[in-house]
Each structure stands twice: as C-alpha cells, then as structure tokens.
Chains A and B, each alone.
Chain A
Amino acid sequence: MAWYLVKRLLQLIPVFLGATLLVYFLVFMTPGDPLDALCGDKGCTPGVAAALTEQYHLGDPFFVQYFSYIGGLLTGDLGVNFSGREISDVLAGAFPATVRLAIIALIFEAIFGITFGLYAGLKKGGWFDSTVLVVSLVVIAVPIFVLGFVMQYFVGVKWGLAKPTVSGAADWSDLILPGIVLGLVSFAQVLRLTRTAVAENASADYVRTATAKGLTRGRVVRVHILRNSMIPVATFLGMDLGALMGGAIVTEGIFNVPGIGNQLYKALTLGDAPMVVSVVSVMVIIFCVANLLVDLLYAWLDPRIRYA
C-alpha cells in the first residue's frame, strides 16, 4: 500500500512535465499574436511593442520560453501574467473560490444524485423513476449558460431566495446557488449511474440471500446494494472534482465568482502562456490526487480489489 502510494505520487512528475509541455505548446500555437491582445483596442507604437515583446519574452523560440518558465517554476517563481501581477498571487487569490464552488457542486451532486438514484433504482420503472428521468433530461438538454441565467433570475432576482451574484469574499453561503447550477449536469449523471447500478444489484442473488438471512431492509440496501453500486459513482465523482473546477468558466461568469475559470479564460484569449500553464498545472495535480483517492476508495468498496 505504501509503495503503491509512493509510486503513484512519483507518477505525478512525468504527468506534470508532460502536461505543462503540451499546454505551453498549445498556447504557443493558438492563432493570433499575444502582442495584439496586449496592445488592446488601440495597437501599440513600434517602440512600445518592442519593449513588451522583450518584457514577456514573446520573441523567444518555444523551447527557450518553456524552459525559462520551468526554470522559474523550480525556484518557486511562476513569473508574472500579462497584467504584471505575480502569477502565484493570482492563483492564491482565485483558487479558493473555485475550490469552494467545486466542493459545493460535488456535495450537491453526490448527496442528491445518490439518494435520488437509489430510490429510482429500487423502484425501477415507478413514477419516481420516471420523474427524475424527465428532470435529468431538462438538465442535460439546456446549456448551462441558459440554465444559469434562468435560475439566477428566478431564484436570485424574482423570488429573492439567494443573492443573485457573489460578493467579493465568495463565502460558502454565497456559492450555494452557483454550486448547484455547476453541479446540475453531473447530478444527472450521478443519478443515472447510481440508478443503473442499484437496479442491477437489487436483483442480484446475494441481495435475496441477505434478505432471506433476515437482515433488515435498511441494512440490505446500505451494505449490499449501495456499497456494491458505488464503484462507478465514486470513479465519476473523483473525476468530476477536476472537471468542475476546469468547467466552471461559464458558471463563474454568470454569478461573478472571482475564481480561476475567469482567469483561465482571460489568459487563453490573451495568449498568456505562463498563466494558462500555471492554472492547468495546479488542475493536473488536483486531478491526479483525486483519482488516487478514488483508487484507494475502490479497495474499501470492494475488498477483492488490491493494489499492485
């Protein structure tokens, strides 16, 4: 087990290098000259353009740029973004809000997805099952930029149940509505996954065995059905933590969450490679760690699974 952990953590290094190289290269390849973005609406005078090119190493070949970034990274210096701010400051300022948002979304989709999925699966084909199917269809079929605005308008403005936008601090309570919006599509997926697995396991013979043994219904559902249904759901949730953070661009924009999504989108449109790479690097680490946790969880959910 310990060795497995060490091995997995060591794998982070090539993943990190691979991801940064790939992302840096992709940003380098994006169409348009970063200088045009830097100079903004008005264009720059040649003198200013030259000074900016030098300041942000825009004229250097790809590998020179990349290795100077990695070199800085090893000494703990991420450099500055196109706004002249320390990238480490930007990350420290923006990530907490996004992490809180993603956690709320994750908790929402886990609790409601699994509960609803469990009921739907146990009573497969019943009215509850059909109702949640329709609800999940709506969630899937309406893009988040429509859904988000509609919920913001009704819940936030019209009914006044929540603040329509997030205030500066982005407290947990402010993030509930955006978190739910962000988690909606995944909620539908968790629900369907749970339902399917539960329905499959509910008719399994060991469940009948357990019932026949005289175990209470609650215990049968909890220990035999639910636990055995959790592997695909856990896999999905582990993966989703990362996806939620990277996919929060639209949600953060609608609710004005001062998070990483907006920073990433801005950096992408500007062609600000060091900034994009820094954001993505942090995400890669979060991904790998979340996936590792899920893999550890497998063994708890199903004792037959062992680490090798």
Chain B
Amino acid sequence: MPENNIENNDAAGRGLDPEARGREAAVREVRDTADTPAGSHQKDIGGPSAGLMMEHFVADATTTPVAETDSRSAEGAPVSLWRDAWRQLRKKPTFIIAALLILLVIVVALLPQLFWTENPSAASTQCLLENSNGKASAGHPMGFTAQGCDVYSRVIAGTRASLMVGLLTTIGVVVIGGLIGALAGYFGGWIDGVLARLGDVFFALPLILGALVVMQLPFFKAHRGVWTLVVVLVLFGWPQIARIMRGAVVEVRNADYVVSARSLGVSSLGILMRHIIPNAMAPVIVIATISLGTFIVAESTLSYLGIGLPPSMMSWGNDISDAKDAFRSNPMPVFWPGLALSLTVLSFIMLGDALRDALDPKARKK
C-alpha cells in the first residue's frame, strides 16, 4: 500500500462502503447542523457540504427539544468551547455533587485540624497497644488500628498526602503524556516513531526499579515525600496516557473538520490545540480519573516496599497496607481509608464524565 497523504485517505475512505460513508457524513453533519451549539464554535470551520446532510437534518430535529433550541439561540454571540462547556456543567447535578465532594476533600486536605479529634502526629497523641484493633467507641467513631491509633484521625490526616499524590500525578501524567501523545499521533512519521518508542522504553521499565533509583538521588533522598513519589509516578506513568492520546488523535486527525481547517490555512499548532486535542480528550479523561485512584493505591504498594512515603507520613495507602494483616479479624481499618479513597475517586470520575459530556456537543444533544 502506498504512503497516502491525508486527503487521499479520505477519498479512499469514502469509496469503501456505505456504512463508512454514512459514518463520515454523520460526523460532518454534527459539526454543521445549525441548531447545535457546535455551530457557534470553532469546529464549524468545515462549512456545509451539500447533499449528504439532508436526511440527517430531519432526524436531528425530532430529538432536539424545541425549548433547548430556543434557549441556545438566545445566547447570541459565539462563545468559546470552554466557556460553553462551563455553561453546560453548572446545570448538571452530577457535576455539582462531584464538585462539592471534591471541595470537601480539598478542605480536609488543607485544614485537617478542623476535622480530626486528635492530631495523630502530635507528641501528645499516644497509640496504645491496649487499644489494638479496638472497636468504635466514643471519640473514636471508626475504632482503632493494630497499633492502637485512632482510625478516624488517621484517615483525616492521610487525606493530604493521598490527594496530593493522586492529583499531582494525574495532572503531570495528563499534561506530559497528553502532549507527547498528541504530537506523536498528529505528526506521525519520525516524530511518532521517536516519541512512541521512547514511551515503550519507559513503560517497559519496572516501576520499582525506577523508584529505587530516583528515590536515591541526593535531592530526593533528602526530601523524601509526596513530591518524590509524584516525580517517580509521572516519570513511569506518562506513556500510558500518551498511547491513549496518540490513538485518539490518530482517529480524529483525518476527520473532515480537521481537513477543512487545514485547507483553510489554520496552522498545525492551532489545529492540534483547538480541534484535535479537545476531540481526543474523552478516553484520556476516563483513564486519568481512574488512574487518580490507582496512583493513590500505587503509593501504598511502593510504601509497602519501602520506596514510597516515609513510614511516619500518614496516607490512606499506608494505612490500608498496614491493616492488611488483621483484615480477617478487624476489616475496619482497611474499610475506612478504602471508603475515603473510593469516594474521592468516585467524585473525580463523576467530574470527568460531566466534563467530557460538556466538551462533546454530540453527547449534549441528547
């Protein structure tokens, strides 16, 4: 097969089969339909392509509530994609719940002293073995750990480290992996070759090996903590997002609206940033929100192996791994930090879902 350029691909694609053609037409139709907000944002560069639109136009009108159409048109002047998404988001109950939960977690992380009954790392706080694996009692609503520490206060105190590890790593991975993946997918050729293979090398490295070495560098050795862990997890976690992003970009880079944008003379960077990345974000958001949880858990595995957070630093992951041995007789010290972790991940997954829907005009029409 010859090396085709993008325009040829499209032509070839059209010639393939009715289904594929229908799909493409449909994609184009979405961007073009006047009564969607898409009509007001930058995806609309392609302009109407006659003929293929007609049948869809009818179908569309039947499913779009009139009121919604009206309210849209009342907005008037074109708004940016993000502004538009925000307008969508504020109306969604899932978004509001998720945002409130995240806010709560952040407040707990920033101001744990408002919540805990005792500061678990204060000199005056004593973990007494006589309370080992004790049941819940007054002042200790979640019972005690195997070491006789108050579970509730530890869950509160562990929020900061856990949230930071999860959030910062996710941000780092999405920014670095997303950028590399987008560049690789969009430009293809040797850039793809180099970046993708670089990803393969990093991904094949055992995380434990990387962590062992990075933690030993003089700077990190002296400042062992959340940041060290984030650097390690980002360093060895970015290829996953990069691969996903690359796949998604490869999928959309040949879309008609991109071709049109290119033929209108929009710069590569402009196309990438304004057309391709927003349209390729959906799978990245899904993986990123779940990864947020897996990073928090990865912290516990690394700490368990002695290369994560120092034992004195409280985190949900540390507490879960410490409580593992007594799980059969006293599952509560695993349950509570696990619940906190689950709720945090849940709220980010809900936020991600809402954000994705808001960014995607197709999903919004429903």
Chain A residues within 8 Å of B, Cβ to Cβ: 1, 3, 7, 11, 14-15, 18-19, 22-23, 26-27, 29-31, 133, 136-138, 140-146, 149-150, 153, 185, 188-189, 192-193, 196-197, 199-200, 203-210, 212-213, 223-224, 228, 231-232, 234-236, 238-239, 242-243, 246-247, 249-250, 264-265, 268, 276, 280, 283-284, 287-288, 291, 294, 298, 302-308
Chain B residues within 8 Å of A, Cβ to Cβ: 1, 3-4, 9-10, 12-13, 16, 19-20, 22-27, 29-30, 55-56, 59-60, 63, 188-189, 193, 196-197, 200-201, 203-210, 212-213, 216, 239-240, 243-244, 246-248, 250-251, 254-255, 282-283, 285-287, 289-290, 293-294, 297, 300-301, 304, 317, 320-321, 324, 327-328, 334, 338-339, 341-342, 345-346, 349, 353, 356, 360, 362-363, 365-366
Cβ contact within 8 Å between B362 and A26: no
Cβ contact within 8 Å between B3 and A143: no
The residues of A that contact B285 with a CB separation of less than 8 Å are: 196
Residue of A nearest to B301 (CB): A143
B213: which of A26, A207, A283 is its contact (CB, 8 Å)? A26
Cβ contact within 8 Å between A196 and B286: yes
Given A31-B216, A205-B59, CB of A145 within 8 Å of CB of B301: yes
Cβ contact within 8 Å between A250 and B213: no
Q: How far is the CA of A19 from the CA of B13 in the complex (A)?
A: 38
A308: which of B3, B29, B255, B324 is its contact (CB, 8 Å)? B3
Given contacts A19-B201, A212-B59, 18 further A-B contacts (CB under 8 A): A11-B193, A137-B346, A141-B293, A141-B341, A185-B294, A192-B286, A196-B282, A200-B363, A206-B25, A224-B23, A232-B244, A246-B204, A268-B206, A268-B209, A280-B206, A291-B243, A304-B254, A308-B4
Indicate the member of B19, B206, B289, B366 with the most A CB atoms within 10 Å.
B206
Q: How far is the CA of A265 from the CA of B290 in the complex (A)?
A: 26
The residues of B that contact A185 with a CB separation of less than 8 Å are: 294
Is the contact region of chain A dominated by helix, strand, or loop, or is it mixed? helix
A188: which of B12, B27, B290, B324 is its contact (CB, 8 Å)? B290
Residue of A nearest to B212 (CB): A30
The residues of A that contact B286 with a CB separation of less than 8 Å are: 189, 192-193, 196, 232
Q: How far is the CA of A19 from the CA of B205 in the complex (A)?
A: 8
Cβ contact within 8 Å between A200 and B346: no
The residues of A that contact B244 with a CB separation of less than 8 Å are: 232, 235-236
Q: How far is the CA of A227 from the CA of B334 in the complex (A)?
A: 40
Given A26-B213, A283-B204, A307-B1, CB of A235 within 8 Å of CB of B349: no
The residues of B that contact A30 with a CB separation of less than 8 Å are: 209, 212-213, 216
6 contacts between A and B (CB under 8 A): A141-B338, A146-B321, A192-B290, A204-B362, A242-B203, A276-B209
Cβ contact within 8 Å between A205 and B26: yes
Residue of B nearest to A305 (CB): B250
The residues of A that contact B289 with a CB separation of less than 8 Å are: 192
Cβ contact within 8 Å between B22 and A210: yes
Cβ contact within 8 Å between B213 and A29: yes
Task: Sort A-B residue pairs by CB-CB distance and give the 4 closest, nearest first.
Answer: A206-B26, A232-B283, A235-B247, A140-B293
Cβ contact within 8 Å between B206 and A246: yes
B196: which of A31, A136, A284, A291 is its contact (CB, 8 Å)? A291
Q: How far is the CA of A250 from the CA of B26 in the complex (A)?
A: 47
How far is the CB of B233 from the nearest CB of chain A, in Å? 14
How far is the CB of B331 from the nearest CB of chain A, in Å? 9
Cβ contact within 8 Å between B327 and A150: yes
Cβ contact within 8 Å between B345 and A140: yes
How far is the CB of A31 from the nearest CB of chain B, in Å? 5
Q: How far is the CA of A303 from the CA of B12 in the complex (A)?
A: 9
Cβ contact within 8 Å between B204 and A19: yes
How far is the CB of B342 from the nearest CB of chain A, in Å? 4
Cβ contact within 8 Å between B363 and A15: no
Q: How far is the CA of A209 from the CA of B289 in the complex (A)?
A: 32
Indicate the member of A138, A142, A150, A238 with the most B CB atoms within 10 Å.
A142
How far is the CB of A162 from the nearest CB of chain B, in Å? 19
Cβ contact within 8 Å between B353 and A196: yes
The residues of A that contact B321 with a CB separation of less than 8 Å are: 143, 145-146
Residue of B nearest to A298 (CB): B250
Residue of B nearest to A212 (CB): B59
A1: which of B1, B59, B240, B362 is its contact (CB, 8 Å)? B1
